[in-house]
Amino acid sequence: MLVWLAAFTIAFCGSSCKKQQASNHVVTLRWQASPGAHHYNVYRSSTQGVRGEKIGTSTEPAYRDTGVPGGTVFYYTVTAVIGGKESGPSNEIKAVVPP
């Protein structure tokens, strides 16, 4: 079962962010839930078409990638874990992060 990555937003955190944070950008991903999914794995790559590294998991069909470096382009995919087995990757979403 594939996951369809439906939307994303990029937000600038502003003065409310902790000063120790490496970046003030947050990329929020949302996707359609997969029936029976125990959790989802989120992957990020700097190269289009390459799965990249696993950056987190979520039990909900959403994920916030915090501390994202400005002036970068990232490609995100998501997989569903159902019955201990990981699905194929979702469609790829390109996020152009402002400086």
**Four-CA torsion 5, 53, 58, 16, nearest 10 degrees:** -90
pLDDT (0 to 100) of residue 3: 63
Residue 84 has a pLDDT of 95
Please, what are the averages of pLDDT over each run of 10 residues along the chain (99 residues)?
61 48 77 93 96 96 91 93 94 88
What are the structural domains of the chain?
5-97 (2.60.40.10)
Secondary structure class of 79 (helix, strand, coil) = strand
Q: What is the reported pTM?
A: 0.82
Query: What is the residue whose two structure tokens read 């700097």?
Result: 46
